[in-house]
Structure 1
Amino acid sequence: MTLNGIDVSSYQSTTYSTAGLSFVMVKATEGTSYVNPRHADQIAHGRAASLVVGHYHFVRPGSMSAQASYFLQHAAAKAGDILALDWEDTGVPGTDKDTFIKDLQAAAPHNRVLLYCNRDFWLNRDHSSFAGDGLWIADPDAPAGRPRIQHAWVFHQYSEAGGIDHDVADFASKAALQTWTAKGTPKPAYEPFPGTAWFTIGRRSPIVAAMHDRLVAVGCDHYQSSANKDVIGSGDVASYEAWQRKYNTEHHKGWTGDALKWPPGKETWDALHVPNV
C-alpha cells in the first residue's frame, strides 16, 4: 500500500486541495537568496488538514553549509517534519549533495532528511547511493509506486496534473508514516539479508517467492515458470545474477567474476527491496 501526497512551491495556491492526501512537501528555499513567499502559509494549510508536512531546499552551486543553515533558518521545521534536498542543478556534484545532507542531519537530529532527484541524477550523476534517511525519486514516466530504479525509495513523484506534482509514499498507513517521521521505528519492513549460506538450492520459503516477484518486477526475469516459486531453483540463480549485473552497471560498482555470481550479497539484497513476509 502507498499513501498519496503532493509537492508545491510558490507556483501553487496556499489553499491547495488536501482531499485524499496524507502528506505535502513544500519548497522553502533556494540557494542562499530565495525564500518561497508562500511557504509558511502552504505549510500551515497542510498542518490544518492534519497532513504530514515536509520542507525542501533547491540546492545551487556554492557553500553547502551556508545553504543548509539558510534552509533551516527559513523552513522553521518542527520535530517530526521532513526535510529534503532538491538536487536538480547540474553544477552541484554528488559530493556536495552528500555534504549538504550530512550537514542537515547533524543540525536537525529530530527530522528525517531525504534526497530528491530524478532518474538521470540518481543513475548517472550519483556515485555514492547516499540519500540520508531515504530517497524521494522523480520518475513521472512510471506508474505510481513503481519507479524505474532498484534502490529502496521512500517517496515517488510520479506525475504532474492540474498544475500539481503528485507523489506516493511507501508506507502501509498514515500512522506508519507518522511513526517513521517521528523517528520511532526504522522504515521499511523489508526482509533482512539472511546470509549467503541461506541461499541453497531446494530451500522452500515465502521469502523465496517474494524474491521471485521482485526479480520479475525489476526486469530480471529468467524464470521458465512461476510453479513452486517459493523453492530456490535454477531460475532464481539466473534471475538474481541478472539483477546483480544490472545493479553493478547502474551503480558503477565495477564488480567482476564471482562478485556477480550466485549467491546473493547483502548490498544487492537490500537494494532489491524484498517485502517482509
Structure 2
Amino acid sequence: MEEKLMANKFIDVASYQPDTLVYFKAAKRLGVKGVVVKITEGSATGTDYVNPKAANQIKHAKKVGMIVSGYHFLRSLSVPDAKQEAQFFIKEAKKRGLSTKATCVVDVEAADLTHNVAALTQQINAFFAEVRRSGFKKMAIYSNTSWFKTRINRSNLTVQNFWVASYGTVSAGMPCKAWQYSSNQMINSAKTDISVDYQGMFTKKVLRKQKKQPQKIKQNKKWVDNLGVTWYQEQGTFISDRAINLRWGARTSSTKIALLRAGSVVKYDAFAHSGGYVWLRQPRGKGQYGYLATGKSKNGRRSNYWGKFK
C-alpha cells in the first residue's frame, strides 16, 4: 500500500521470535529501522513474566543499528496493580539494557476484564506516571482499533501516542503515531509483527520538539480576507499526523479540494484562527491558495496540534 511505503518500518518481538544476530541482520536487510522488545508481563507478585530473550534481542538489535524500544503486557485490575507492573517493567528493562531515552510502550489487550472503561484508563495513566518518575520520557500505548474506540477513554489519557493494530485494512482506522498492519512478516523463517512509523517515534534517535506558531505577529503583516478571516504572515512547513481536508477557504463549509493523507507535507505562508480551528494557507500557484485546519483553537489560542511543524 502506498501509505505504508511513505513511513519507516519497525517490528516487535517477544520470546516467539529469535534473539540471534542473524535474525536482526535479516530484518535490517528488509529495511526495518526499529524494534520494540517485549520485556515483562504482569507484576513481580503476579504473573511475574520476563521475556528470556529480551537481553539478547536488545543487544543484537542495537548491534545492527536499529532503534530499540521496550514494551510491557498489562494485566492490572486496579491502580495499585498498574503501579506494581510499571515498577516491575522499569526494573527489568533497565537490567536488560533499555535506555531511558527509549520509547516505553504499554500493551493493553487483556487488562480490566470487567470492561470498566474509566478504571482501565486510570490504570494506564497510573502505569505511565510510574514510568515517567523513573526517568523515561517517551511513552506510547499499543492496542487494536476496537479497544481504542470502545474500551479506553482516549481523551482522558495522559499519553496521547497511539500504536494501533489493524490487520487486513487500508489504514489503522484512527489517528495514530504508528500502525501495526501485519503479524505475518517472515524474517529468517520466523513470523513477525510489522508496523509503519509515521513520525519517527520508533525509528529515529532524536525527535525534534514540536514548534509552536508564534502568537505575536507584527501588525504590518496581517490582513483580512473576503471571508472576514484575519491572517498573519508566516513561512513554514507542516506535517500532518492524520487525514485532513484541504479546502478553498478557511471555513469547514468551504469546498473541499482534496483529502490530505497522514504524513502529508504542506508548505504554508500564513495562518489564522477561524471557526474554532487554526488554519494554514497553502500557495498553489497562479494566485490560488488552499486552506487546511491543523488543530483546534479557543479564544484565539491553539489548544492542540494535528501534526508537527518544522
Pairwise same-fold verdict (TM > 0.5): yes
Question: Structure 1, residues 115-174: CA drift from partner, whole Å, max 9, x if none?
Answer: 11111121111124325262212222334xx42113xx2222111223111111123799
State the aligned residue count: 229
Q: 1:127 aligns with which of 149, 153, 160?
A: 153
The secondary structure found in structure 1 opposite 2:32 is: coil
Q: For 1:199 and 1:58, locate their aligned partners in 2 and report how far apart those are by CA, in whole Å.
A: 52
Is the alpha carbon distance of 1:237 and 1:104 closer, same or farther for their aligned partners in structure 2, counting shifts above 3 Å?
Answer: farther
* Amino acid corresponding to residue 35 of structure 2 in structure 1: V
Q: TM-score, with normalisation over the residues of structure 1?
A: 0.68
Q: Tell me if 1:83 matches 2:104.
A: yes
Q: For 2:17 and 2:135, locate their aligned partners in 1 and report how far apart those are by CA, in whole Å.
A: 27
Q: Structure 2 matches for 1:250-265, cutoff 5 A? A: 262-264=275-277
- Displacement after TM superposition at 1:214 (Å): 3.1
Report the equivalent of 2:268: none
Q: 2:306 aligns with which of 252, 256, 273?
A: 273
Report the equivalent of 1:24: 35
Cα RMSD of the aligned pairs, angstroms, is: 3.9
Report the equivalent of 1:214: 243
Unaligned runs of 5+ in 1: 217-225, 240-260
Q: 1:10 aligns with which of 15, 37, 53?
A: 15
Identity of aligned residues (%): 22
* Amino acid corresponding to residue 31 of structure 1 in structure 2: G
* Amino acid corresponding to residue 119 of structure 1 in structure 2: T
Q: For 2:248 and 2:200, locate their aligned partners in 1 and report how far apart those are by CA, in whole Å.
A: 24
Larger radius of gyration: 2
Q: 2:144 aligns with which of 118, 126, 145?
A: 118
Conserved? CA contact 2:76–2:85, under 8 Å: no
Q: For 1:199 and 1:128, locate their aligned partners in 2 and report how far apart those are by CA, in whole Å.
A: 37
Q: For 2:10 and 2:239, locate their aligned partners in 1 and report how far apart those are by CA, in whole Å.
A: 27
Report the equivalent of 2:124: 97
* Amino acid corresponding to residue 154 of structure 1 in structure 2: K
Conserved? CA contact 2:68–2:202, under 8 Å: no
Q: TM-score, with normalisation over the residues of structure 2?
A: 0.61
- Displacement after TM superposition at 1:58 (Å): 0.2
- Displacement after TM superposition at 1:231 (Å): 2.8
Report the equivalent of 1:245: none
Which of the pair has the greater relative contact order for Cα pairs under 8 Å at 6+ separation? 1
Q: Structure 2 matches for 1:110-189, cutoff 5 A? A: 111-129=137-155, 130=157, 132=159, 134-143=161-170, 146-150=171-175, 153-161=176-184, 162=186, 163-171=191-199, 177-180=204-207, 185-186=208-209
- Displacement after TM superposition at 1:238 (Å): 9.4
* Amino acid corresponding to residue 18 of structure 1 in structure 2: K
Report the equivalent of 2:264: none
Unaligned runs of 5+ in 2: 1-5, 114-119, 216-223, 258-273, 278-294
* Amino acid corresponding to residue 84 of structure 1 in structure 2: V
- Displacement after TM superposition at 1:26 (Å): 0.6
